[in-house]
Amino acid sequence: MYLSRFLSLHALWVTVSSVMQHYPSVWGHYDVCKTQIYTEEGKIWDYMACQPEARDMIKYVKVTLDPPDITCGDPPETFCAMGNPYMCNNECDATTNELAHPPELMFDLEGRHPSSFWQSTTWKDYPKPLQVNITLSWNKTIELTDNIVITFESGRPDQMILEKSLDYGRTWQPYQYYATDCLDAFHMDPKSVKDLSQHTVLEIICTEEYSTGYMTNSKIIHFEIKDRFAFFAGPRLHNMASLYGQLDTTKKLRDFFTITDLRIRLLRPATGEIYVDEQHLARYFYAISDIRVYGRCKCNLHATGCKEENKKLFCECEHNTTGPDCGKCKKNYQGRPWSPGSYLPIPKGTANICIPSISSIGTNVCDKELLQCQNGGTCLKNMRCQCPPAYTGILCEKLKCERDPGGCSQNSGNMAVSHGPLLPLTALLGVTGLFIF
């Protein structure tokens, strides 16, 4: 009896494994740029959309503070304890390692015992505002894949703005406002991400959720990336194909999750009450122990690798593309205008490879080695590709429906892939949370 059960489970696992092998990119990895396949014409390259894995982007960040002398300790000063705002005998001293709180302690992995954190000067110049800009720069375009999380060792600020840049800090746009009183601070009604929808996902909101008083157990501020993904991919992000489709067809949505820089604008420290206690100004300061930013290098779906050279990140471009973001075609591969890859059709996407320039290929338009006809096309006497009905282009690299005013739907050509066998099997095994953006 036990043997028969084992054999049944084994057979089920073999079936599931077979299904998984046939649908590797349905799960949203896009971790292969090309693969060799065998056809009647012989062995050829099959090109796919591809992207790097998500990683901890704080490892590559450069941080700057404005004003630059806002860090405590020069000269040394005393401040009040986190848990007891009236015990004000703690010291910050930049010349003593155990008492210093420099900016790099926002990101240290291990931390000193008992804790390590960056800390600003206290609000000793009240009523002059105590304001700090913390700028995180990557010198590379990044696609965010998880929540931005900021952990404070002071009280969370009464007022703060998180901003983003898409042009290396030349211009900035607000990402989210944070305040104990949104209406008073920013003339905005308070909202949370749960108040948004697919149609309002790009709305810039002010939230009071992360600005409650001077409490040691209330340290974390979020910018909710995953909650916004969930409007398209479902509450557990189980339908990443739907999200990828939206990102592919809606540039503003894709740009919303794309950054080159982040800026944390600390506008007013935690006070815990309406009025500032001018007799105990050492109570008021900012302190941050951790910042987390997860994402991937933006490579326009033309690379699976991203490497660091001379403290800069570069995509390891494929598909005959080049540039930090694979944003242009290589020399002699400009036979058609550069285009980013596409997540569609699921599961492999469209590579949109750069094809050789006519001047570089002589009389041959196609062959079986470097200039293969794509998407099942056949090379006729090296002069032209005979394309399947749904495709067009020099190398059958484009969907015909792309030329239509309505664009391509998931039912155009061969874009739709049946996921029927996969769902009941995964449901039977209780597989959840396997979709990785």
Q: pLDDT tens digit string along 131-149?
A: 999 999 999 999 999 999 9
Answer yes or no: is pLDDT of 23 > 80: no
> Which band of pLDDT confidence, cut at 50, 70 and 90, is reported for residue 410?
low
- Rounded Cα distance between 377 and 387, Å, is 4
Which has the higher per-residue pLDDT, 81 or 69?
A: 69
> Residues 63-78: what's their mean pLDDT?
96
Q: What percent of the chain has pLDDT over 70?
A: 81
Enter the pTM of the model. Answer: 0.76
Residue of 113, 17, 41, 20 whose CA lies nearest to 386: 41
Residue 302 lies in a domain: no
- Rounded Cα distance between 343 and 353, Å, is 14
- Rounded Cα distance between 34 and 49, Å, is 8
DSSP string, 398-411: EEGGGGSTT---TT
Residue 332 lies in a domain: no
> Residues 30-50: what's their mean pLDDT?
87
Number of helices followed by number of strands (H, E) in the chain: 7, 24
Tell me: the pLDDT tens digits for 307-345? 998 888 999 999 999 999 999 999 999 998 999 999 998
Which has the higher per-residue pLDDT, 402 or 19?
A: 402
The pLDDT assigned to 408 comes to 72
Which has the higher per-residue pLDDT, 419 or 81?
A: 81
Of the listed ranges 82-86, 202-206, 207-211, 299-303, the least confidently predicted one is: 82-86
Which has the higher per-residue pLDDT, 432 or 8?
A: 8
The pLDDT assigned to 407 comes to 64
- Give whichever of 19-23, 39-43, 45-49, 380-384 has the largest mean pLDDT: 45-49
Answer yes or no: is pLDDT of 400 > 60: yes
> Residues 367-384: what's their mean pLDDT?
82
DSSP string, 240-274: HHHHHHHHHH-HHHHHHTEEEEEEEEEEE---SSS
Q: What is the CATH number of the domain that holds 63?
A: 2.60.120.260
Residue 221 lies in a domain: no
Beta-carbon contacts of 299 under 8 Å, excluding residues fewer than 6 positions away, are 50, 51, 52, 306, 315, 317, 325, 326
Residue 162 lies in a domain: yes
The pLDDT assigned to 109 comes to 67
Residue 156 lies in a domain: yes
The pLDDT assigned to 85 comes to 65
Residues in the chain: 437
Mean pLDDT of the chain: 83
> Residues 216-220: what's their mean pLDDT?
70
Of the listed ranges 128-132, 252-256, 341-345, 419-423, the least confidently predicted one is: 419-423
The pLDDT assigned to 433 comes to 35
Which has the higher per-residue pLDDT, 77 or 429?
A: 77
- Rounded Cα distance between 230 and 421, Å, is 24
> Which band of pLDDT confidence, cut at 50, 70 and 90, is reported for residue 423?
very low
Q: What phi and psi, each to the nearest 5 degrees, are found at residue 272?
A: 80, -5
Residue 376 lies in a domain: no
> Which band of pLDDT confidence, cut at 50, 70 and 90, is reported for residue 218?
confident
The pLDDT assigned to 110 comes to 57
Q: Which residues pair with 328 in a beta bridge?
A: 322
Which has the higher per-residue pLDDT, 81 or 405?
A: 81
Q: Which domain holds residue 255?
A: 58-214+251-293
Tell me: the pLDDT tens digits for 254-271? 999 999 999 999 999 998
> Which band of pLDDT confidence, cut at 50, 70 and 90, is reported for residue 13?
very low
Residue 102 lies in a domain: yes
Residue 109 lies in a domain: yes
> Residues 274-287: what's their mean pLDDT?
88
Q: What is the number of structural domains in the chain?
A: 1
Beta-carbon contacts of 290 under 8 Å, excluding residues fewer than 6 positions away, are 106, 107, 149, 150, 151
The SS3 call for residue 153 is coil
